[in-house]
Structure 1
Amino acid sequence: MTAPPLLENFKTTDFWFPDGNVILLVEDIAFKVHQGQLVRHSDVFRDMFSLPQPASETIDGVPWVQLHDDPSDVLHLLRALYDGLYFNKPSAGDFCAVSAVLRMSTKYLIDHLRERCLARLEADWPTTLVGWDRREQQATVDTRYNPREHFPHPVLVIQLARELSLDQLLPCAFYDLCRYGPRKIAAGASTIPALLPAKVLAQAHPPIQTQSSSTSAANGHVVQLRLSKPHLRATFLGREHGQRFLADFIQRELHGRAISANCANRAHAGGHHCRESYYFIMLNLLRAVSGIATGRDADPLFSLVQAVEMLSRTDFSDGTRQCGLRICASCKEDFSLAVAKARKEAWDLIPEWFGLREKSKGEQQPQTPEAEQEKVQGAN
């Protein structure tokens, strides 16, 4: 008969209740909690605790169960079960708790927590253009755009989506990632080992051998979590597709664009003011494609919004004073409709850009990251 573990070999947290009636052992951490609280929310725990346990198999007279999970994941789950799971406003710091609770609620079939986590992730990484625009507004405070304050690094989200088969998050996450420059994309996400499960840390650079949660937390050093080569390739290909889409829009909708049928400036040099406005917008979008204007050279959704905003701005200069574009209302409306159509088209194409969905019939079929990985493995 194997002797029960010695409690002195484990560390405890604030989830150590004197009246607890079960001890959860997770690596080098012990939690003394209430069976009823776990059973109330999870049939998996109910079945686990229903198994008879010899009286000798106790620690200080309390039955114990060993869980093969990450200690930080268990801690976040207990906090959610005892204290609730609340999100006041989008914050990148919430991702650690959201991802941990989602893993655990998926494994232990705690539906209400899983639904809360999924709802939060799908709000942060939306599947609609309306949701994306709302997200971008949330990331802009006092004209300062800083998405990493509000949303986690997309590499972390891609890893979680692959781990838990949350494919609906991938198009938005890949698009967000591709807006970085190539060097930052390749560098991946900086993270603290204590915040991630051991199986995720195995993908980090340098790889981390996590022997205990307390050790990694004490070290506090930062590692880079990088994409696999197939996912990295998909990101760069998607980035190129986005740049090409914007370049094609410029050629199709701005280069030599005709004035509208109802152009109010038609009688003035054949609509010169409106044609001049189109030319000015084209020059600014070309600067966006090259990354000169804002550094966001692979964000066609943003660049197209900027194109429409130029129609109403009054802070341009003609060399002597500030002014706006002299485009008429009819041409302005026509161009705004063209931009709205292009943004919808771009959003619908994002899954294809990153190889997450096959292209339309007649177009070259992309290699998905998984197919690319199989190809590489087959070659080896």
Structure 2
Amino acid sequence: MDDFSTNRYAGNTMKQEPSHSGPFVNKHPDLWFEDGNIVIMAGDFFFNVHQGVLCRHSVPLTEAIDALKGDDKYARFLEGNIVLELDDNPKDLSPFLMALYDGVSHVKHNSQDFEIVSSILRLATKYAVEHVRNDILRGMSAIWPRNLSAWEFREADATDTTGVYKPRSIYPHPILVINLAKETGANELLPSAFYDLSRCAASEIATGYLPQGSSDRSQMHVLSDECLLNALRGREHASRFLSTFVVNELEGREPSQNCTHKNDTDPFRKRICQATFEATTFEILRDVNGVVFHRSSDPLFAIMDADLMQTRTDSTRLNLLHRACEACRLEFTASVDAAREEMWHKLPLWFGITDLQSWP
């Protein structure tokens, strides 16, 4: 006997029974509504939901339901309701259906909820539920932003009170984000995700990401060959940009025309600003491997830090012996801001992201 009745008017409907004695209906605990009028089957899970909710939000699901009703001869029923079988993973389908009913305001866009975010975005894209897709992308854009100022807020949130940067404790790994963005066409997430990844060692980028606590190598998340090459090329571009900045803006930097010490008769005091920038160069190179702030290969931060060293008084880093005068410091700050904006604008080009409508 079939698991499902093929007679719309059959008096006996399928009952839940233990798996050892017959068919087993694995009803989803939160998405089996007693007043539901359509059963969705995904894998070995069953969801008794409402056709009106599905059809209100999704044209593809509406078409699938209409096609199912038009083929009554082969339709299957469970507890009197027609069954729509989908090829989705029930772990993906469950949060997606919950989003249709409850929205996504409860979803957090951190590392703990990333599987839920991924599931909703995949199926919202597949079933063309634009408002849910847009809500999810709006939340993700706070972590993978389009503009530099939002990136700075994101980085500050990942830095603890001692100045140690710990993004992996709160943000999902960028390889996960890159793969999800490519799968769902969310290309606006790619530049910042690729830049985040480029700060890892090249060997880590090539090896891939294994979720914490997992020893099963089959769970390894890797980039496609194209994305891997783009990530490594972009990493080289970013590193070269930092080197160029150090050479052009720090090494042998001339004092401002308005330098306070420009006309000083004391040779030592006359060179205070130049000596300050030379010391800054040394500090930047000294921390190129993240000795102080645990940020290896992070040109955006290194360029900003070159400016912050001129005013920093905390104990998170060795303080400069001397400070540049206000005129020289302000000119250098302007150079830093311009360089960082230029770098941010170049991220899509560096990482081979050519199908963005606009950036930033």
Aligning the two structures, in what range does the TM-score lie when normalised by the shorter sequence?
0.7 to 0.9
Max Rg structure: 2
Asked if 1:262 is matched to 2:258, the reply is: yes
Counterpart contact for 1:314–1:323, Cα < 8 Å: no
What TM-score results when the alignment is normalised by the length of structure 1? Answer: 0.79
Please tell me whether residue 188 in structure 1 is matched to residue 187 in structure 2.
no
SS of 2:47 mapped into structure 1? strand
Are 1:326 and 2:345 counterparts? no
How far residue 229 of structure 1 moved from its aligned partner, in angstroms, is 2.8
Corresponding residue to 1:356 among 350, 353, 357: 353
Amino acid paired to 2:179: Q
Moved more, 165-174 or 250-259: 165-174
Q: Could you say which residue in structure 1 is the equivalent of 2:192?
A: 172
CA offsets 1:228-259 (integer angstroms, 9 cap, x no match): 23322222222122111111111111111100
Partner of residue 285, structure 1: 284
Cα distance in 1 for partners of 2:284, 2:223 equals: 30
The letter of the residue matching 1:349 is K
Alignment of 1:107-256 (within 5 A): 107-142=126-161, 143-191=163-211, 206-207=217-218, 223-256=219-252
Candidates 6, 12, 28, aligned match of 1:13: 28
The percentage of aligned residue pairs carrying the same residue is: 36
Residue in 2 that maps onto 1:27: 43
In 2: Cα distance, 1:89 partner to 1:63 partner: 34
Deviations 1:210-237 (A, max 9, x none): xxxxxxxxxxxxx211112332222222
Q: 1:298 — aligned with what?
A: 297
Per-residue deviation, 1:75: 0.3
1:4 maps to amino acid: F
For residues 48 and 230 of structure 1, the distance between their equivalents in structure 2, rounded to whole angstroms, comes to 35
- Per-residue Cα deviation, 1:163-210 (whole angstroms, up to 9, x for no partner): 12222221111110011122322232224999xxxxxxxxxx844xxx
Contact 2:250–2:281, Cα closer than 8 Å, also in 1: yes
Query: Mean Cα displacement is larger for which, 299-308 or 233-242?
Result: 233-242
**Aligned-partner residue type, residue 298 of structure 1:** S
Q: Secondary structure at the match of 2:287?
A: helix
- Say whether 1:96 aligns with 2:93: no
Using the alignment, how far apart are the partners of 1:350 and 1:92 within structure 2?
24
What is the CA–CA distance in structure 2 between the aligned matches of 1:316 and 1:300, rounded to whole Å?
22
Q: Which has the higher helix share?
A: 1
> Contact between 1:44 and 1:108, CA under 8 Å: does it hold in 2?
yes
* Offset of residue 90 of structure 1: 4.6
* Structure 2 match to 1:363: none
Secondary structure, in 3 states, of the residue corresponding to 1:289? coil
Equivalenced residue count is 331
CA 1:357 to 1:94, structure 2 compared with 1: closer, same or farther past 3 Å? Answer: same
Which whole-Å CA distance do the structure 1 matches of 2:328 and 2:245 have between them?
Answer: 17
Q: Distance in 1 between matches of 2:327 and 2:107?
A: 43
